[in-house]
Structure 1
Amino acid sequence: MKNLNIKARKLYLIKAAFLALPFTFAACDTDELLNPVPETSISDKNAFDTPERIQGQVNGLYRAIKDGQFYGGRLIVYNEIRGEEYINRLTNGVTGLQTWQHNLNAGTNEVQNFWGAAYASINRINVFLKGLDDNAAKIDPVLLAQYKAEAKFLRALTYHSLITLYAKPFNADNGASPGVPLRLLAETSSANNDLARSSVAKVYEQILADLNEAEAGLPANYSTPLLNTTRAHKNTAVALKARIYLHMGNYAKVVEESGKIVSDAAPFKAPSGVTHELQPNVAAPFATPTTTESVFSLPMTEQDVPGTQNQLGYYFNAPPVGNGEYYLNPTGIIGDPDWRAEDARRKSFVVTAGNLMYYKKFDKPAPYTDFVPVIRYAEVLLNYAEAAARTGNLVKAVQLLNAVRTRSDAGYVFPATAIATQEALINTILKERRIELLAEGFRSLDITRTVSAFPGKTGSGLTAPAVDPTSPEYVWPMPNSEIATNKLL
């Protein structure tokens, strides 16, 4: 497959994106897949005929997001291993070695595969939204608004995942840098493939527009804990909005959005909609992933798994439960003395095998049916804490920080030097994020949004250099499959 013509590969990816859509398609054989024609043949004649069919398409949007090459595993892994918390053990290029080493190029598998999965999801969403508009009379107006809102929430989530890998962070230059192509139309052919990159600021503008519409149209809650965890509702959109504003350095807006879903005083919980709150046991949201701490997660079952070498447990858990692709870097956060031995996050999740330490937040064996956490209430509180600290409300920031730390280490008291000044408190909150959100795909996001350098790392005979924000390796390159077929890049 390496010698497959790049243009044919791109058209194949386009075709694959359409084949994922829940419509009736023209049949195709192996030869057609390897030598695709420029146009796709899609019949949406019956796709919006019944409420059941429309509901099936909504489910399909979520299914696309949890593809193993996307949020089903790989995205979280890449965002985790770019940072300094993990050491590559098996030198397997298929499972992210080049990402760990910051040694990617436009043809590297992860650069191309993630791009393809993300844009396939985006086009699926765009086709669905157009279908809803064209068939609005066939669906209850309340459901119509909800389904549009769910689709826009997922589109916002997808564009943020793209912009944080393939473009400079917003905070580097207030979003002036080139971002990614902002595709908002339903495409059923390759005719409109040529599209210039929008600025980072423009992409963020669209993300926020989608999330504002999502918040307005989503329900306050659903009928079961499973649905409250795995489908977007109002608090889900608000939580993601707060994350987006954090990445934009708009800390006043982080405070504003967080205040919608965090009570004024401890014990902190969402005052309306789904009553999100921390669980007493930090392991609970991973053992039973439909608790109220899980704001949004992607479900996995034995009949619907992320696929080979995509699963979080496969990457991060110790053999024989996982494959131990990556172990904890002893000079990373696991080696920090402020993370005490009595902390439940150590006691519950750290496991040693072969003199190496692994993190077992994802502890189910093959076929690895752990839910994938996308937004957890602990992150919401830490986002709020950081924004409160950066806007001068140190008292509120310490309260929120303490809620997260003392849940896992009840006897811990932050030293005065760690919280007495704004700068010290912000650094302490950033360290707490490294502990609390370890293995959930936040480390490289926190490095880039603060426009910090990726630290160097060494282990297993391998070395990855430090990467400065001005280095080309700081962001992922545009994939060859896009460069070859998009004349406006």
Structure 2
Amino acid sequence: MKIYFKSHRKSIAAVLLLSGILFTSCENNEDLSIAPETTVSDKDIFKTPARIEGLVNGIYKAFKGASLYGGRILLYQDQRGEDFINITANNFTGYESWNNSYSSGSNDINNLWSAAYTSINNANILIEGLAVNQGVITEQKAKEYIAEAKLVRALAYYSLIINFGQPYNKDAGASKGVPLRLKAETGAANNDLARSSVAEIYTQILKDLNEAEAGLPQSYTSADLNTTRAHVSTAIAAKTRVYLSMNNWAKVIEEAVKLAPQTQAPFSTTASDVKHALQSDITVIFSSNYATTESIFSIPMSSLDSYTGQSSIAYIYNTNLEYYLNPTGILGDAQWRTADKRRDLTRTVSGKQYFKKFAKPSPFLDYIPVIRYSEVLLNYAEAAAKTGNLTLAANLLTAVHQRSDAGYTFAASITSDQTQLIDAIWKERRIELLGEGFRGPDLLRNLQTLPSKGDNKLQTPAVLVSDANYIFPPANTELAANKLY
């Protein structure tokens, strides 16, 4: 994690404030147009509403780190599966994840660890600071800001635990997880902290998400802000993902029904201000409108604040063409027909299919999806199938699939058989959520082997649940700083 030394405390406040100024989700909101301040001491950082706004923006900015939800974490997670084939063997563009060969010294490991804990620490600083600096902003605004911080903290911890901790379903979370840091760290005094269990991390994640749901606003003043800042639906949708990782089907259903109360298509949200629904054309949400109601939470990019070169997932996939789609992976499955609109999110180069959900040229202004409504429906479908409601599960699955392939019908032999229906839902996740960071986590939560893959140039063997490299190793930076890890 990033360590803040006491001798640098004055610069910490300035960095946190300035890091929020460029976060582009706020660029169209007058309340968040904060003039840059280059010298702000810690004792003054919570003294004006504008500076507090800057800290809130800084939390999102940290969460947008290149190795976190600036995009590359999606790459790390997807490359653990079998749907992409690596061409370059470049350690700087995710090859070690594809090859399951990470070490504690790997750049990806240390950068991901640092980005996640920086997001967490920024959230902790805001939460603690607002508690002791009351009256500067309204009580309601403080409640909303704290809820935003808890939402980001929860997602950052979820990103850590699914990568660096054993799957919850392996032993009901009894394994050691990661250090649970809930205090603002501005010095090295508290570096030494033992790991909490996987279950304890999940408990904190869900506590944060429940409290976020209670404190977040229903909506903002624009569609872009509804997509790029946390609101009530963001917390609910995130809980469906977390509970799915725990095989807690009843809780997945309890949360999902808040966003999809219907039992058959068209599914949409009715109770909250933001009416989430599937868009008629999936290509729109990856090309011309990043702020539809399907995009529950996304990370924005702008010409003033985007990633280029190897820091950009769009560069790796679509510009430099470092991975192609495995013809024997989901690309070759009969459930993904050539008539499917999602085929338009791939392109052919020299006889190989490449992934182009992130297709903007440099400066790579594609928004990075964190949570989409289609994921919520598929989470719901899986939980419904697992609990025996096959009709509802089939309706949810069909709604997602027919949005992109209206002529496709799932055979009755599939929709009436629990095992086959769940298998179809898992395939649908691979089609619908391809390249959005789900394949690796889905394999791990289901305690499945990481499959072998490759071509005649590069190969990587399967990884068993019992193998040490089934999860990511801890970062060297943490091992060096934390004697209790």
The unaligned stretches of length 5 or more in structure 1 are 1-6, 26-40
CA distance in 1, matches of 2:356, 2:285: 13
Three-state SS of the structure 1 residue aligned to 2:371 is: strand
CA distance in 2, matches of 1:432, 1:197: 35
Matching residue of 1:270 = 269
Question: What is the RMSD computed on CA atoms of the aligned residues?
Answer: 2.0
Moved more, 331-340 or 209-218: 331-340
Do residues 324 (structure 1) and 325 (structure 2) align?
A: no
Q: Following superposition of structure 1 onto structure 2, how do residues 375-454 of structure 1 map, counting pairs within 5 Å?
A: 375-454=371-450
CA distance in 2, matches of 1:91, 1:403: 38
Instruction: State the 1:10 CA deviation.
Output: 6.6
User: Are the aligned partners of 1:149 and 1:218 in contact in 2 as well (CA < 8 Å)?
Assistant: yes
C-alpha deviations, 1:43-76, integer Å up to 9, x for none? 3122112211111211111111011121101111
CA distance in 1, matches of 2:4, 2:56: 25
CA distance in 1, matches of 2:4, 2:91: 25
CA distance in 2, matches of 1:24, 1:353: 42
CA distance in 1, matches of 2:461, 2:261: 43
- Scaled by the length of structure 2, the TM-score of the pair is 0.92
Matching residue of 1:371 = 367
CA distance in 1, matches of 2:290, 2:456: 33
C-alpha deviations, 1:268-299, integer Å up to 9, x for none? 01112210000000111112110011000000
Matching residue of 2:340 = 343
CA distance in 2, matches of 1:114, 1:305: 18
- Scaled by the length of structure 1, the TM-score of the pair is 0.91
Instruction: State the 1:423 CA deviation.
Output: 1.1
Matching residue of 1:22 = 16
Identity percentage over the alignment? 50
User: Are the aligned partners of 1:349 and 1:360 in contact in 2 as well (CA < 8 Å)?
Assistant: yes
Runs of 4+ deviating beyond 4 Å: 9-12, 14-21
Matching residue of 2:297 = 296
CA distance in 2, matches of 1:405, 1:115: 35
Three-state SS of the structure 1 residue aligned to 2:296 is: strand
Instruction: State the 1:23 CA deviation.
Output: 5.2
Which one-letter code corresponds to 2:82 in the other structure?
A: E
C-alpha deviations, 1:412-436, integer Å up to 9, x for none? 0112232221111111100100000
Which one-letter code corresponds to 2:371 in the other structure?
A: I
User: Are the aligned partners of 1:392 and 1:422 in contact in 2 as well (CA < 8 Å)?
Assistant: yes
Q: How many residues align?
A: 461
Q: Following superposition of structure 1 onto structure 2, how do residues 35-54 of structure 1 map, counting pairs within 5 Å?
A: 43-54=41-52
Three-state SS of the structure 2 residue aligned to 1:358 is: strand
Matching residue of 1:100 = 98
User: Are the aligned partners of 1:24 and 1:43 in contact in 2 as well (CA < 8 Å)?
Assistant: no
Matching residue of 2:187 = 189
User: Are the aligned partners of 1:296 and 1:373 in contact in 2 as well (CA < 8 Å)?
Assistant: yes
Matching residue of 1:282 = 282
Instruction: State the 1:94 CA deviation.
Output: 1.0
C-alpha deviations, 1:186-241, integer Å up to 9, x for none? 11100000000000000000000000000000011111100100000001100001
C-alpha deviations, 1:333-354, integer Å up to 9, x for none? 00112211101111x1120112
CA distance in 2, matches of 1:117, 1:15: 19
Q: Following superposition of structure 1 onto structure 2, how do residues 168-247 of structure 1 map, counting pairs within 5 Å?
A: 168-247=166-245
User: Are the aligned partners of 2:391 and 2:415 in contact in 1 as well (CA < 8 Å)?
Assistant: no
CA distance in 2, matches of 1:53, 1:216: 25
Instruction: State the 1:24 CA deviation.
Output: 9.3
User: Are the aligned partners of 2:174 and 2:199 in contact in 1 as well (CA < 8 Å)?
Assistant: yes
The unaligned stretches of length 5 or more in structure 2 are 20-38
CA distance in 2, matches of 1:21, 1:460: 48
User: Are the aligned partners of 1:24 and 1:44 in contact in 2 as well (CA < 8 Å)?
Assistant: no
Matching residue of 2:86 = 88
